[in-house]
Every structure is written in C-alpha cells, then in structure tokens.
A and B are shown apart, each in its own frame.
Chain A
C-alpha cells in the first residue's frame, strides 16, 4: 500500500529533531519504506510503501507512531503526540434518531451519529492545502473531511443525507444474488450475493458497504442533516465484493486489510470535532455504537532464549523491552519468560513468537546483526542430476555452432497438437495454451530470423506439457533445434557428433510424418527405443530435430568397459563405386559393416554424381593383415555391393 505523508502533517503528531532525510533513511531500514522524498514548497513529502500486514501504519498517525519507535535507536529524539479531542462523547448502543439491525458477523463495529444543520461549502485553507499535498482534489467540506480523516488515521468514514434514509431505519445484511444498487458515481451493479449492504425503511439498498455509498442516500448540495458513519467490516466479504465487481477504492483497500475496531471510536470523535468546526453542524449527544465483542487484550508468549536463538545474538531483557515498548506493546517478564500484551492496532498481525522476534529485530536493527554462514551437515546430492546432463548438451551444441534460444511455453492455439492445457486468464490469444510440442515454437523462432544472412542453427531445452487426467501435466524436458539454410548431411553430422560426444549408441530409421518432406525424416533410435527425430520440414528449408532428454539421459551408454587399443595396425584403403540412382547409401554402409568382422571402420569420404568413395579400415586384433588377407575381404565387398546394390567398382 502506498501513501504520501507530508512532513508538516507528520509533525502535528511527532516531536523530533530528525531531518526529513533522516526520517526517510531510518524508517526505511526498520519500518515503512520511504521510496523517495519530493518537495512541495518548504514541505517534504514522503512517498511511502507499507506492507499489507501493517495497515495500522497506513496513515499520518500510524507513520508517526512507527517513527517514534524507530528514530531513538538512531540517536534522534522522537515523541509521539497524543490525539486531542474537544469534548466528551457518549457512545451508546441505542439512539432515538436511527433504528438499526446489524449482523455483527458482517460488521464488527458499527458507529453512527447525526449531525444537524450542516452548511455545505468549500473547506478551509488548511484542509485544502493538505489534500493537495497528498494529491487529492478538494471538493466540499463534507467529502474533504472524510478524506482528511482517512489519511490522518487510516479509518474510512462515510456520510449519508439523513433525510434520505426512509423511516430512519437501517438493516445491515448480506445481499441476495441479483439485487441491484446504483452507487454515487452513477454505476448500477447487479450484486453477486453475499455482499454487505444496507437497506432502509422502504427496503431500498442505500449502501454497498465498504465499497461505495448508494446514490439514493448521498449527500448533495441541499443536504441539511448528515449521518456520519464509521465502521469496520468483515474483510473477506469486502475483498470478495471488490474483486467480483472490480471496484477498488482507498476505503475498500483499507477495509479488506482488517481494520482495528478500537480505531473506530477515535475516528468518530475526530470527525465530530471537524464537522462541528467546519460545517457549523451540531452533533447529537449520543453516538450509536454497536460493538458486541470489544477488544480484549491479546497476549503472546515467548522466552529470552528463543528470541536470541532466532537472532543469533545475545540481547538482554531490557534491550528487548526497550524495542517493544514504543511500538505500544507491554512486556511482562517472569524469569526468562516473556508475556507480551499486544495493542489493538497490532492484534491482527502479531500471533506467534516469530512475530515478536521480527519486531525486536527490526527495531534493534537488522544492520546490527552479525553475518555468518551456517555450520552443520551438508545434504545429500541428487544422484544422476538432470542439470549436468542438460548443461553438457548445451555445451556440445553451442560448441558446434548452435545458438541457444528461450521461447515462451505459452503459445497460441495454432502452435499445439491435439489436446493441450488452456489458461483460464491468459493475457491474450497469443499465450493462451501450454505447449505440448516444441516444433511450432522453434519453427516460429527460425522464421522470425529468416532475414539472417548466414546459415544458422538454433536450439532450446525446455518443457512441454502433456495433460494427464486428474493430475498435473507431465512436464517433459525436450531438446529441440532447427538448422536453417544448412546442407542435410552437415546438419545430420552435427546431431551424430552430439550423440557420439555424449557417448550414446544410435541408429536411424526412415519414418514419414506430417509437416516433414516425404522421405526426409528419420527416427533416431537407441536399440529398439525411439529417442528423437530428425528431418527436413515441408516449408522454409528448415531441418528440425528433437530429443526427449530424460530418455536420452537414461538410455544405452556407449561406454562398455575398457578395450585394449589394437596391437596390429589397420590397412586403410579407399574404394570408389558407382551406384544406380536412388540407392540409399546408409544401407550400403550398414551392409559393408556387417560383411566381415575384420572391417573395423568405414566412412564415406567423397561423392561425385553417382560415385561414392568409401574409406575402409581392415584390421584383425590378432595379427597384421597381409595384402592377400585384404584382397579377399575387398573381393567380398565388391561382390556384395554388386549383387545387392548393382554397384560397380571404379
């Protein structure tokens, strides 16, 4: 929650020798965070951010209270000045000017008072000036007082034109689904039900409580008698209404943070004083106050050793009490056990010993605490962690010239296959689904780079999300990539080299699939398991590949124990064959490999039209092969290729 606090206004409640710069710096270290100071003439305005648990500090007075606790730790004098009230006030649960029925589950404290004979006009200068400093536009004295009090104390108030409340009667209840109300900004809402509303003696809805007043009961320029209205509401109900109707106001934001019921009477008294002073109205003697469960002092217990253990320090009881007292807490020690009485304005925030530790620590100063790494046993490492493997893949591919990309897992409908998970509240059509394939994302990235002048290779490691019944989706980590303007064999060689680098066995099988050119796609196999695919896409001259990384990591390793390096040298020779058209050279090579155990290795080293030159390594582990030995193997190769593939040796 953000709030602007003018220094001049703060000084009405805080006596201090701290400069605005001091205040901003020291409070930021120990309490509300002052993001910046702006100047308004001689005045400084603190732009302050207050965390949602500290609604008690979202006001000039609350800020002053924090300052009074924090500044002395920095050697500055600071004293919180009490709020002053003019006269005596009588709170009573029945008054003759208003007949009410209140559901106290919805409204924990209900106060109202009738102010007679008000004069509606401009506010006096001192109010206008302050409102302008906090970037509010002065409107008239009635509205300005509401804003003024809300800013000063953090308690919203509301005003009705008393004469518009039919039968001087109010019933505060839950709305029924479909009920309608027109609010004072002229918007009509059909209520979802369960909202806090007030109906009058003629069963008209006159207030959408905590959000905005009804138009039919609003104060206007002819208003004579004002019903001043200060409440605390069930925060969950307010929040629900505010969210479903998408209506947020400063008041609703405060109400949904669960306000302090004790602050209601303070705000009521302040408001009456201001109304009498500024509108010349006269307040009724009795203030209506329905407060069935008044605040009973809450205590939280802890002990000295717990506090010190949590802080890693060695504070004494006095240090601790001195931190807590200026914040409104009362500490009672019994030996080393502490019973802490919590003031009403912190009752909803302080529940457990850890909360006390926080208060002590921040006032003592986090900057005063030591800094030490923990000792103790180390946890066990994950066995077979996926991260090392993924890093290895990335290193190899980028080493081979690949550029790693990150694309969004949220994709448009055109990017998915079959059924994919859909978002309930996407930011737009482009990011409506969780992808269940990498292909579309990588293809899209490649096409976006089609202006790139050189051939390129991009890749990504990321999850795809496969829906599963009654469970979270299966998040499958994939490696996917595209070669653009690459020669097929160069691209394929990169993938082969990757698999060799990570020591995996692999083979290829032709298999057709949608989106790939016919006869241009290969399944990548590890034994009988398919681990990935590789092939040319139909459009844009792109070659795509992908792997299921977990499968890849798990499957067949090439490392099969130590093998002695060959004792006897290999005989190496190049053989060139011409083949009929449409011969699959991959099959030829497989065939040569399987022909004789003494063929240790074969590589394709050159091609020209229909001619292919193979380099063959002949090797026997037990002896050096003679020319005669080699000749007999060569003959086998030649006759095999001739009979099986119709090849001619050149």
Chain B
C-alpha cells in the first residue's frame, strides 16, 4: 500500500511539472485529489485495512494530498506569472470629485437624530415672525426690559392689529406656542431647528445663526425629566463621561429657569483656563411658564412641560474642539475653509 501511494505521488508530480496551462493543471487536480480522484478513492479503501495500520496509512495519504496541493499551486503561480504583464499598483487612484456638507448641516443632523430617537418630532417655524410669537406669547409684554436682550431686527412693515410687529425671529422659542397650537393636545416632544437673527456681529456672533429648541409637554412633566433629557443629549452628543448641571437663571417664558452647564472635557471638570471651575455654559432651559401654555391653549392645570433652546454652531464647537477662530468664517462660503470640515 505504502509503495502504491508513493508511486502515485511521483507520477502526479511528474505530470504536474509538465503542464503548460492552468486548465491542464486543473484537470490533474481533479484526477488526483478531486472528489472522485485517485487519492480520495484510496481514503475510501482505508476501511479494508487492519485497525493498527489504518492510522499510519491515513497519515501518509493526507501528507501526500497536502504536498500535491502545494506543488499544484506553485506550478499555478509559475504558469500565470509567465503570462503576467508589467503593472504598477502604486499608481495613485483617480478620485471622484469630493463634495462636502456644511458644518451646520452636519451638526443639525447629529442633534436631530439624537432627539428623534427619544420620540421628538422635528419641525420648523417662520424665520420672519410676528412679534406676538417671539415675545408676547412668551410672557414678554411690550414694555418688558427682558426684550432688550434679544437684539431683535425689525422688518419695515405695517403693524398687524393682532400680532404686532414683524421681526426676524431672535430665537427658536417663537416656535413653542406655534407647536402647541399645531398639536393641540399633548404629548408634545418638539425639536425645532431653524435660522435665527440678532443684531450682533463679532468673532463669536453672526447676525444669522441656528438654534435648536426642545419642547416637551405632557402630564406630570417635572424638572427631573428636563435633567434626564439634557443628560441623555449630553452623553450622546458629547460623550459618556460628560455631565450637565443646572444653575438658576431668568427667562420670562420659563419658571423656574436654568442655565445649563456641561463639564469641561479639557480638564475633566477640575477647572482650567478654558472653563469656569470645570464647567462650560451650554445655554438656557426651564419649565414652561403657565402663561405660555395658556397662550398655546393648553391647560396649565392639566399639563406641564420644559423647554430649552441653544445655538447649533456654539454647541457643535464645544463638542469637537473645531477651533474656528472667527465664527463668521462659517458663512464666508470660502471653499478653502469649508472643505476642511
């Protein structure tokens, strides 16, 4: 038996070395080690051997099979390399033109995705808005000094007897009462992302910018839900290690009102040059004022809610450490800048 195997091996090697094409080689492979090949049928015969020899012969057949396979593949290489042409794979690829989405688009997408996962509905409300929705409906009567802080642009147009002046909305909060009027019966989980305008322009302000506004109204909504939502956002947007905290603040349209801080990622909350004692200001938030619910025709005795409204650009800058020295660059349309992000 042993001799039979060895002579089969020698015969096979001789034939393999003489092949001159890949198809010829493939034929030989089938003849020897194919499913019905010579070696394979030897294996099938193994049963006929006495038990003590069976193992030895088995090993020999396997070794033969392996070495034949090796020889076949090295012959294959030889055959194909002889037909190989000169080719240089180090040549650079030809790229399709690389397009790019604007940083603000990327930020908006990330933000809305995070909120949509917990049931928020994305909406958009007018950029050119009635003073009523920007202020009065938000518990800011005409003479209130709080209005000054918004640095509002006014449109040169006639006063509307019902809704007052036409303004460029200085915040996405103008959408709060519009959303209440649209949905009518809570639950409301709104994420309103839109352009806003304020009369200021310097390295950290542009006259046009973007805000995202969250509004949640339902039965039994409390401060802990606001905290829960902010923590959820902060962890998903900024990373698991970041924490948020609330500090007292004052907005006319929320009561209580908060300033929201996030722990500084540079110093991990220990305090450094870039932060205030380990914290960075994110933006405002609060529990919706009952007068605002009333303006939205929602009964404050039955329902309560919270809201927050932050700058898209500002929040995104705090995330990624994209250090744009002058925020106005974002709106400069300069391809050399835009293509970096």
Instruction: Please pick, from B160, B188, B223, the residue contacting A361 in the complex, using a CB distance under 8 A.
Output: B223
Chain B binder among A393-401, A555-563, A570-578: A393-401
- Given known A-B contacts A378-B187, A379-B187, A409-B208, A422 and B276 have beta carbons under 8 A apart: no
- Given known A-B contacts A310-B223, A361-B256, A422-B155, A52 and B250 have beta carbons under 8 A apart: yes
Minimum distance in angstroms from A251 CB to a CB of chain B: 15
- Decide: A403 and B99 in contact? CB cutoff 8 A: yes
- Decide: B105 and A374 in contact? CB cutoff 8 A: no
How many residues of chain B are within 8 Å of chain A by beta carbon?
Answer: 89
* Interface residue? B307 (CB, 8 A): no
- Residue interface mask A501-541, B partner, CB < 8 A = 1: 00000000000000000000000000000000000000000
- Residue interface mask B150-179, A partner, CB < 8 A = 1: 000111111010000010100000000000
- For B195, the chain A residues whose CB sits under 8 A away are 409, 463
Instruction: Please pick, from A309, A385, A391, A452, the residue contacting B109 in the complex, using a CB distance under 8 A.
Output: A391
* Interface residue? A569 (CB, 8 A): no
Chain A binder among B26-34, B36-44, B55-63, B126-134: B126-134
Whole-angstrom CA separation of A248 from B220 in the bound complex:
44
Chain B 94-138 interface residues, beta-carbon cutoff 8 Å to A: 96-102, 104-105, 109, 112, 118-119, 121-124, 126-130
Chain A binder among B45-53, B81-89, B224-232: B224-232
- For B330, the chain A residues whose CB sits under 8 A away are 406
- For B263, the chain A residues whose CB sits under 8 A away are none
- Decide: B109 and A406 in contact? CB cutoff 8 A: no
Whole-angstrom CA separation of A362 from B256 in the bound complex:
9
Instruction: Please pick, from B121, B206, B229, B248, the residue contacting A362 in the complex, using a CB distance under 8 A.
Output: B248
* Interface residue? A65 (CB, 8 A): no
* Interface residue? A500 (CB, 8 A): no
Instruction: Please pick, from B190, B222, B229, the residue contacting A312 in the complex, using a CB distance under 8 A.
Output: B222
Which residue of chain A has its CB nearest to the CB of B158? A470
Chain B binder among A29-37, A187-195, A206-214, A615-623: A29-37
Instruction: Please pick, from A54, A449, A457, A463, the residue contacting B97 in the complex, using a CB distance under 8 A.
Output: A457
- For A376, the chain B residues whose CB sits under 8 A away are 187, 218-220
Minimum distance in angstroms from A557 CB to a CB of chain B: 23
- Decide: A378 and B119 in contact? CB cutoff 8 A: yes
Chain A 381-411 interface residues, beta-carbon cutoff 8 Å to B: 381-382, 385-387, 391, 394-395, 397-410
- Decide: B154 and A456 in contact? CB cutoff 8 A: no
Minimum distance in angstroms from A510 CB to a CB of chain B: 28
- Decide: B228 and A371 in contact? CB cutoff 8 A: yes
- Decide: A379 and B189 in contact? CB cutoff 8 A: yes
- Decide: B156 and A400 in contact? CB cutoff 8 A: no
- For A427, the chain B residues whose CB sits under 8 A away are 199, 201, 207
- Decide: B336 and A452 in contact? CB cutoff 8 A: yes
Whole-angstrom CA separation of A403 from B230 in the bound complex:
33
- Decide: B100 and A403 in contact? CB cutoff 8 A: yes
- Decide: A31 and B128 in contact? CB cutoff 8 A: no
- Decide: A473 and B145 in contact? CB cutoff 8 A: no
* Interface residue? B221 (CB, 8 A): yes
- Decide: B121 and A382 in contact? CB cutoff 8 A: yes
Minimum distance in angstroms from A226 CB to a CB of chain B: 31
- Decide: A445 and B333 in contact? CB cutoff 8 A: yes
- Decide: B222 and A309 in contact? CB cutoff 8 A: yes
- Decide: A401 and B256 in contact? CB cutoff 8 A: no
* Interface residue? A583 (CB, 8 A): no
- Decide: A458 and B155 in contact? CB cutoff 8 A: no
- For A54, the chain B residues whose CB sits under 8 A away are 250
Which residue of chain A has its CB nearest to the CB of B154? A424
A30, A372, A431, A457 — most chain B CB neighbours (10 Å): A372
Instruction: Please pick, from B105, B187, B223, the residue contacting A311 in the complex, using a CB distance under 8 A.
Output: B223
- For B218, the chain A residues whose CB sits under 8 A away are 374, 376-377
Which residue of chain B has its CB nearest to the CB of A29? B247
Minimum distance in angstroms from B44 CB to a CB of chain A: 46
* Interface residue? A257 (CB, 8 A): yes
- Given known A-B contacts A409-B208, A473-B128, A403 and B157 have beta carbons under 8 A apart: no
Whole-angstrom CA separation of A366 from B223 in the bound complex:
9
* Interface residue? A370 (CB, 8 A): yes
- Decide: B208 and A410 in contact? CB cutoff 8 A: yes
Whole-angstrom CA separation of A425 from B207 in the bound complex:
12
A35, A36, A357 — most chain B CB neighbours (10 Å): A357
Which residue of chain A has its CB nearest to the CB of B163? A472
Whole-angstrom CA separation of A355 from B248 in the bound complex:
12
- For B153, the chain A residues whose CB sits under 8 A away are 423-426
Which residue of chain A has its CB nearest to the CB of B200? A427
Minimum distance in angstroms from B201 CB to a CB of chain A: 6
Instruction: Please pick, from A31, A370, A456, A458, the residue contacting B248 in the complex, using a CB distance under 8 A.
Output: A31
Whole-angstrom CA separation of A25 from B154 in the bound complex:
40
- Residue interface mask B307-341, A partner, CB < 8 A = 1: 00000000000000000000000111111101100
Which residue of chain B has its CB nearest to the CB of A32? B248
Whole-angstrom CA separation of A178 from B197 in the bound complex:
35
* Interface residue? A256 (CB, 8 A): yes
* Interface residue? A53 (CB, 8 A): yes
Which residue of chain A has its CB nearest to the CB of B197? A410
Which residue of chain A has its CB nearest to the CB of B189? A379
- Decide: B187 and A377 in contact? CB cutoff 8 A: yes
- For B109, the chain A residues whose CB sits under 8 A away are 391
Chain B 232-272 interface residues, beta-carbon cutoff 8 Å to A: 232, 245-250, 255-259
- Decide: A424 and B155 in contact? CB cutoff 8 A: yes
- For A380, the chain B residues whose CB sits under 8 A away are 121
* Interface residue? A358 (CB, 8 A): yes
- Decide: B101 and A382 in contact? CB cutoff 8 A: no
Minimum distance in angstroms from A619 CB to a CB of chain B: 31
- Given known A-B contacts A358-B256, A379-B183, A424-B156, A404 and B245 have beta carbons under 8 A apart: no
- Decide: A52 and B334 in contact? CB cutoff 8 A: no
- Given known A-B contacts A354-B255, A381-B121, A369 and B227 have beta carbons under 8 A apart: yes
Which residue of chain B has its CB nearest to the CB of A462? B195
- For A329, the chain B residues whose CB sits under 8 A away are none
- Decide: B189 and A378 in contact? CB cutoff 8 A: yes
- Decide: B255 and A405 in contact? CB cutoff 8 A: no
* Interface residue? A352 (CB, 8 A): yes
* Interface residue? B25 (CB, 8 A): no
- Decide: B229 and A373 in contact? CB cutoff 8 A: yes
Minimum distance in angstroms from A487 CB to a CB of chain B: 13
- Decide: A370 and B224 in contact? CB cutoff 8 A: yes
Whole-angstrom CA separation of A398 from B304 in the bound complex:
42
- Residue interface mask B281-315, A partner, CB < 8 A = 1: 00000010110000000000000100000000000
> Could you list some 19 contacts between A and B, CB below 8 A?
A24-B277, A33-B259, A51-B250, A309-B222, A311-B223, A312-B223, A372-B228, A373-B232, A379-B121, A379-B183, A379-B188, A379-B190, A403-B339, A408-B206, A427-B201, A465-B128, A472-B129, A472-B130, A472-B166
Q: Given A374-B225, A410-B207, list of 15 further CB < 8 A pairs?
A: A52-B250, A235-B145, A358-B248, A362-B256, A372-B225, A385-B122, A394-B105, A395-B101, A401-B96, A403-B335, A404-B100, A406-B333, A408-B206, A423-B168, A452-B335
Closest 3 A/B residue pairs (Cβ): A401-B97, A358-B256, A51-B250
